[in-house]
Structure formats: C-alpha cells, structure tokens
Amino acid sequence: MSAPQSRERSIILNENGWSVRVLDQRGLPWRIEWVELTTVAAAARAISEMWVRGAPLIGATAAYGLCLALRADASDAALERGMALLLGTRPTAVNLRWALERVRASAQPHQDDARVAAAYRCAALICDEDVNSCRAIGDHGLELIRAVAAQGRTVNVLTHCNAGALATVDYGTALAPIYRAQELGIAVHVWVDETRPRNQGALLTAYELNRARIPHTVITDNAGGLLMQRGEVDLCLVGADRVSRNGDVCNKIGTYLKALAAHDNGVPFYVALPLSTYDGSLASGSEIPIEERDPAEVILISGELPGGEPGTLRLTRSAAANPAFDITPARLVTGYVTDRGILRHASEWAALTMRALQRNTR
C-alpha cells in the first residue's frame, strides 16, 4: 500500500504576501482547483457559495477577507463595510463572527499600512492556532479510540458531514482523532454519512479518508440507526458549527437524528470542536440562527455521470425545503472533545473559556 498523500492547508497566503488561495470544494472529488482570492468581495463569495465551508475554515477565510478589504482601503468605514459584508455570508457558524471580531480588534488601534499589517498578522495567527487546536483535539479524542481499540478490535466510528481537514485549516475536528489513530497504527473504520443535500460526507469526507488510506464506508443518512442497533458503531464523532452555553450543539442537518439513535442504543456520542466554536453569549441552542439554503440543493443532485464527466440530475418536480443545520440537545451529548481536553458537561465550558481568556489577555 502506498504512503498516504500529504495534505496542504485549506487556505494559504500566497508568496506575494497579500492574496490567499483556497481549494474550491465544490469540484471535489472530481476536480481539484485552487482559486486565488484578491478582494473582500471574492472572499465573501467563496464563503456564501461554499467554495470553502466548515466553521473553522469559514472563520479563517473571513479573517483574510477583512485583510483584503483593508489592503484596498484602510479607513474605519471600509473596516466596517468589510465586516458587514463578511458577516452576512453565512449565519450559523459562530467562528465567522469570532474571527472577524478578532481581526477588527487587532487592526482598529492602528492606521494605514500598520493597520493592514496588524490585520494580516492576526489572520495568520488565527490559521496557526486552528491547526494547533485541531491537533490538540486529535490528541484528546484519540483516548476515546484507544479505549475501544484496547478490546483488540477495529474501532468503528460514525461521522456526519465533513469535519475534517477540509472544514478547517488542517487536520479537522471530528476527523483529527481518526488521523491520530491512524498515525499510531490503531485500526479504525469510519462510517461516513453521505449528508444530503450537499453530500459533504460522500464527496469530501470520503475524499479525505481515501487520500489518507483510512478504511471507510459511505452510508445513506438513514442507515446509522440500524448499524447502531446491530452493534456496528463504537462511537459517533461529529463536528459543530456552534455550541451554546447549555451545551446544545448546532451542526449539519441530520446530526440530531444520529444523536437520538446513539442515545437509544447506548452508543457514545461525542462532539469535537475548538473553543472558537463555543458561543457563550447564547443560553441555549434555540437561539442559534439556522441557515435556510436554496431548495435547489435538495431538488438537484450533482455527481459523476456514467461516462465519467460531471453532471447534475433533477430528483423531483415538487417543492423542497432546505434547513442546513439542526440542534442536538446537550442531554444527548456524551462529551465535547475540545482542544483543551474532553468535557463531560456543559457547565465546564464557563471555566474553560475563562481560563482561555485569561491566557490571551496576560
């Protein structure tokens, strides 16, 4: 078996020191195309049209988007315009606002070129921190996989959507422990929910796992319950787009149903996330804005036609609805795999964020 292919970061500052390149995820796995973002408008379009997606990568792209806005015009007015444009791209992942507020806070005290330079430093830091956070999530989550592997068998993990390297700057959140397990030679097999309607599981997670040579099987979104009843899932490991103060988890539509099935079958259900995905300003998940996307995403299915060329088919002539995320109540979550360790209860968030805040302000 050949060695796994090495990955690049999902967003890279170009050699010119100011534009960034991102992988256009819409073409995966059929087409690998990097695009250069040179304006704030292009960054906003890349986020809203999902060339890039996944909470941490949305934040990183927005951070550089604000840098591009300031490079064109470093005034206060341009800063606010850039913020508003980028904030309006997607409503659910809190990393977007988190990253933009960080860049604004670091740029605001400066003027002109110094302001632009401060913004770029902050965006680079956000990216580096994300890589480190994801590695730490991998280390902490590894313990869950090790515990099952100690029984002397392949560990079966079920995941939903794509919470891998493509959803972050590198490594991923839910997939990071799986990558770590593979590095250590622990046998893991991943059940990959296809994740209708945009099929991030079948298209992106499967692509990542293929590249890393990690055994996996794509299943329909409805299959997980049966697999859990049959004892074929050791643990569920999913990502998050926002977690509220009481521990409710907002993630890709369909996550909630997996959590219900896991609860009913005694399968541990873990959510992996960096601190940047925690929103302590919201008391519960019911306050999290759920993105409603174009019904065309439900009606039309894209993929590879029998001849090998990409194509799109119409599934139905009926009306369709497309809520993109759902809320999993905290009571269904076994634990949160964070970059600072595994939390078992929502009440631990407050202490954790306070410690992180103290560390950053010291």
Provide the binding-site residues for ligand MRU, judged by CB under 6 A.
53-56, 161-163, 167, 173, 200, 238-241, 251-252, 324
Residue closest to ligand MRU when measured from CB atoms: 239
Q: Which is nearer to ligand MRU, 74 or 259 (CB)?
A: 259
241 catalytic? Reply is yes
Distance CA 343, CA 349 (A): 8
Length of the chain: 362
Distance CA 160, CA 192 (A): 6
Distance CA 176, CA 260 (A): 24
**Angle, CA 339 vertex, CA 289 and CA 28 arms, to 5°:** 65
Residue with tokens 């040179």: 38
Q: Which is nearer to ligand MRU, 70 or 126 (CB)?
A: 126
Distance CA 274, CA 347 (A): 16
Residue 90, CB-side half-sphere exposure with 13 Å CA sphere: 31
Sequence-distant (6+) residues with CB within 8 A of 278 are 94, 242, 243, 349, 353
Q: Which is nearer to ligand MRU, 29 or 81 (CB)?
A: 29
Out of 241, 248, 279, 339, the active site residue is 241
**Inter-residue contact 137 to 177 (CB < 8 Å):** yes
In the complex, the smallest distance separating the C-beta of residue 75 from ligand MRU, rounded to whole angstroms, is 31
In the complex, the smallest distance separating the C-beta of residue 192 from ligand MRU, rounded to whole angstroms, is 12
**Inter-residue contact 318 to 327 (CB < 8 Å):** no
Q: Which is nearer to ligand MRU, 19 or 200 (CB)?
A: 200
Distance CA 124, CA 271 (A): 26
Question: Residue 4, SS3?
Answer: coil
In the complex, the smallest distance separating the C-beta of residue 194 from ligand MRU, rounded to whole angstroms, is 12
Token output for 269: 């259900």
Distance CA 354, CA 330 (A): 21
Question: Residue 15, SS3?
Answer: coil
In the complex, the smallest distance separating the C-beta of residue 163 from ligand MRU, rounded to whole angstroms, is 4
In the complex, the smallest distance separating the C-beta of residue 187 from ligand MRU, rounded to whole angstroms, is 24
Distance CA 79, CA 215 (A): 46
Q: Which is nearer to ligand MRU, 148 or 174 (CB)?
A: 174
In the complex, the smallest distance separating the C-beta of residue 308 from ligand MRU, rounded to whole angstroms, is 26
Catalytic site residues? 241
